Amino acid sequence: MSGAPILQVEDLARGFPVRNIFGWKTGAVRALDGVSFELHPGETLGIVGESGCGKTTLGKTLAGIYRPDRGRIVFEGKDVGARAAHEQRTVAAKLQYCYQDPGNSLDPRWTVRRALGEPLAVHTALGPREREQRVRAILKQVGLPPTHLDLYPHELSGGQQRRVGLARILILHPRLVVLDEPTSSLDVSVQAAVLKLLRELQRVFSLTYLFISHDLSVVRMMCDRVAVMYLGRIVELAPSETLFAAPRHPYTQSLLAAIPQIGGPRVTDTFALEGEPPDPAHPPSGCRFRTRCPRAEAACAKTDPALRPISETQSAACLFA
């Protein structure tokens, strides 16, 4: 893609301690272990993979909820990975994180009006009248009537809570939004409405999305490029159509083979994903996928493959891709 990237992630790592029943540290889970990629303005980059692969940890680390143990996060040309507490507020206004469960991210004691007005009170110098005007305007943008301003989260449906969550993020006019499972726990019809809304909001507000999801059909429809994660690393990165038509990493092929098909051929029938991912506190030597890979050879246990270009637009971390 042309133009300077809005986000550059270099060798990002984040771990969590493993403790025994006495509270003593016995090891560490490497949720992120050397993640690198670029994201361009106006782009939607999908992040996919099994539960526990590090998708949500990546999103929260980028948003400053977790601090990285290693690596750089360059947002709009500035290294924000090691930002101090007083710098967090400035970055947070432009780089927002949309929680997986919007109901839990909203204070049950606050009305919609207060939930939407609070970011303006913290991050702007707007007076009460101007804040009310912006709250009403953004609520209209997400398709909710002003009568919802005096409702509490428990009085809203799941789809309405999702819209309020989006409004709370967009009210500060961010540049980049991390969407963590934006359609999870929603009915199919509500999912379609939310996805349509996300596309419209991206157009109106010139947004860039990092789209975290386990739903590959939604990712294919929404994303320009897709990054596939396994055990804390990106193992394949490619344009959406390229990845779904010709996946090169065995793990990606396994994920696509698991998609239910009604008529028509699968992308691949030769890779069935079996077993559970290894313990992230003790990953296998060499290639991390080798213990589940039908192609694994002796070299895979000795060499840890890096993510490397295999074409002009596609990269994979496999010795035989």
pLDDT digits (tens, 9 = 90+) for 263-298: 555 555 555 677 778 888 889 999 999 999 988 999
What's the total number of domains in the chain? Answer: 1
Q: In what order do the strands lie in the sheet with 7-19?
A: 25-39, 7-19, 70-75, 78-79
- Residue 174 confidence (pLDDT): 94
Q: Is 310 within the bounds of a domain?
A: yes
- Residue 264 confidence (pLDDT): 53
Give the largest CA-CA distance in the chain.
68
- Residue 258 confidence (pLDDT): 75
pLDDT above 90: residue 89:
no
Q: Is 75 within the bounds of a domain?
A: no
- Residue 184 confidence (pLDDT): 82
Q: Is 314 within the bounds of a domain?
A: yes
Q: Is 186 within the bounds of a domain?
A: no
Q: Is 288 within the bounds of a domain?
A: yes
Per the prediction, the chain carries an average pLDDT of 90
pLDDT above 80: residue 168:
yes
Confidence of residue 122 (pLDDT cuts 50, 70, 90): confident
- Tell me the C-alpha distance between 321 and 313, whole Å: 14
- Residue 87 confidence (pLDDT): 67
- Tell me the C-alpha distance between 104 and 119, whole Å: 17
Please tell me the pTM assigned to this model: 0.90
Q: Average pLDDT in the 226-255 region?
A: 96
pLDDT over 90, % of the chain: 69
- Residue 90 confidence (pLDDT): 77
For residue 281, the enclosing domain spans 250-321
Q: Average pLDDT in the 193-210 region?
A: 94
- Residue 102 confidence (pLDDT): 76
- Residue 45 confidence (pLDDT): 98
pLDDT above 60: residue 299:
yes
- Residue 101 confidence (pLDDT): 82
Q: Is 49 within the bounds of a domain?
A: no
Name, in order, each residue with C-beta under 8 angstroms of 118's C-beta and a sequence gap of 6 or more: 110
Scanning 7-154, the segments in alpha helix (DSSP H) are: 55-62, 85-94, 102-105, 112-123, 128-141
Q: Is 266 within the bounds of a domain?
A: yes
- Residue 20 confidence (pLDDT): 86
Q: Is 311 within the bounds of a domain?
A: yes
Q: Could you read off the pLDDT of 244-265 as tens digits, one per residue?
A: 999 999 999 999 987 766 555 5
Q: Could you read off the pLDDT of 20-52 as tens digits, one per residue?
A: 888 888 888 999 999 999 999 999 999 999 988
CB atoms within 10 A of CB 173: 15
